[in-house]
Amino acid sequence: MTPGRTLPYGQWRRLGRIDDIDLYEQKARRSMKHGKGLFVASFLVLPVGLYLWLVILPFIQAFQISLTDWSGYTTGFNYIGFDNFINMWDDPKQWVIPGFRHTGIILLVLPVIVIAMALFFAFMLNVGGRSQGGVSGVRGAGFYKIVYFFPQVLATAIIAIVWAQIYKPPTTGGLLASALQAVGLPYPENGFMGSTGLVLPGIIAVMVWSSVGFYLVYFSSAMAAIPQDIYEAARIDGASRTKTFFKITLPLLWESVQTAWIYLGIIALDGFVLVFMMTPSQGGPNHASEVIGGAIYKFAFGSGNDAGMASAIGVVLFLGVLILTLVSLRVTRRERVEF
């Protein structure tokens, strides 16, 4: 090996061997080209193949199935045009319309509550402290962050079982109703999941419980990027904490809030697991907690026995997601602040 042969580009330049640099680059370029096509193909064939086969193809098939009357378990089926898309709004099982309504409610309520709480916590834990000099979080901020984030690593299935136990009626040892009973407050006789008025708020509360910590940590890292002297200046000017939050923190975090909004929207569409595991007859009582994912599941794999309908609802859901994402990106767009 000739000396200097393995030196990186920068060191060659420093050594002043100008003539050799062209040679170096040429050689690098030539060896990068050699066997490139085969290499690229060999690295792409498996991931792309698998992805096309198990993700893209089923999605295309779902669009096709949505135009049929296929139950899913027979060999034959007929193309019936857009009948499924019309019939779903007149569904005798009462899954579809309540499903869309409740998913819509979750979609409106969940992001607002989670983002408001996460922002408040993040602000308190990062800049809420008012000790002498410097900008810092309240005492115990590290501890709070660790605790709040924890539900995020628990499987949704476990969260559902734990909260199902908490929501049970007092007669079977439900924590919350028993506590209300003990202090003499009104409580739902059949448990929270057995009451038509409380079942949906109860599900939303669990979704909030499990996701606040994640967005708290996410907003915290965004807040850490805001320069300290901006807060210093505000403090010297005598700005209160509330004012600091609304005039400084929130505007500078806008982009993160926007991203969080979209992700929470996706989570809101996914309330199915909780509803499936926690509510009576997976959407009850009396259809008070039907969600759209549940409707799709029940048509495809439950008692609905109508794969065509399930796919049609899925297509509507997909288009809804697409439109909502585009609209929310447009509505919340703001000028970006560089700092």
Which residue number, 166 or 288, has a Cβ lying nearer to other proteins? 166
Q: How far is the CB of 50 from other proteins (least distance, A)?
A: 5
Q: Name the residue nearer to other proteins (CB basis): 195 or 211.
A: 211
According to the binding rule CB under 8 A, does residue 57 interact with other proteins? yes
| Position 5 contacts other proteins (CB under 8 A) | yes
- Residue 136: phi and psi, rounded to 5, are -150, 175
Least distance to other proteins from the beta carbon of 331, Å? 18
Please give the residues from 204 up to 263 whose contact with other proteins meets the rule CB under 8 A. 209, 212-214, 217-218, 221, 235-238, 240-242, 256, 259-260, 263
Contact criterion met (CB below 8 Å) for 307 and 72? yes
In contact, 88 and 96? CB cutoff 8 Å: yes
Tokens of 93: 């099982």
Instruction: Spell out, one character per residue from 92 to 111, where the chain touches other proteins: x when CB under 8 A holds, - when not.
Output: --------------------
Using CB under 8 A as the binding rule, whether residue 116 contacts other proteins is answered as no
Amino acid at 224: A
- 128-187 positions binding other proteins, by CB under 8 A: 128-133, 138-139, 143-158, 160-166, 171-175, 178-179, 182
Asked if residue 300 binds other proteins (CB under 8 A), the reply is yes
Strand partners, 136: 129
C-beta separation of 291 from 275 below 8 A: yes
Using rule CB under 8 A, residue 324 touches other proteins = no
CB 297 to other proteins: min, Å: 7
Shortest spacing between CB 338 and other proteins, in angstroms: 19
Q: Cα-flanking dihedrals φ and ψ of residue 129, to 5°? A: -70, 140
| Rounded least distance, CB 87 to other proteins, Å | 18
* 126 binding other proteins? (CB under 8 A): no
Which of 55, 183, 185, 331 binds other proteins (CB under 8 A)? It is: 55
Provide, rounded to whole angstroms, the least separation between the CB of residue 16 and other proteins: 18
End-to-end CA distance of the chain: 49
Q: Cβ of residue 294: shortest distance to other proteins, in angstroms?
A: 10
Q: From the list 4, 58, 227, 251, which residue makes contact with other proteins (rule: CB under 8 A)?
A: 58
Q: Which of 256, 226, 243 is nearest to 332 (CA)?
A: 256
Enumerate residues 6+ apart whose C-beta is below 8 A from 251.
337
Told to check if 86 binds other proteins by CB under 8 A, we report no
| Residue 90 or 237 having the CB closest to other proteins | 237
Between vectors from CA 325 to CA 322 and to CA 327, what angle results, nearest 5°? 105
Among 79, 82, 246, 318, binds other proteins (CB under 8 A): 318
Mapping DSSP onto H, E and C, the string for 64-117 reads HHCCECCCCCCCCCCECCCHHHHHHHHCCCCCHHHHHHHHHHHHHHHHHHHHHH
- Closest to 61 measured CA to CA, from 258, 310, 242, 268: 310
Q: Is 268 in the site for other proteins (CB under 8 A)?
A: no
Out of 100, 167, 192, 297, the residue judged to bind other proteins by CB under 8 A: 297
Please report how close the Cβ of residue 240 comes to other proteins at its closest, in angstroms: 6
Number of residues that bind other proteins (CB under 8 A): 118
Amino acid at 317: L
State the residue for tokens 């698998």.
Answer: 50
Q: Are 299 and 314 within 8 A, CB to CB? A: no
C-alpha 254/C-alpha 105 separation (Å) is 24
Confirm or reject binding of residue 317 to other proteins (CB under 8 A): yes
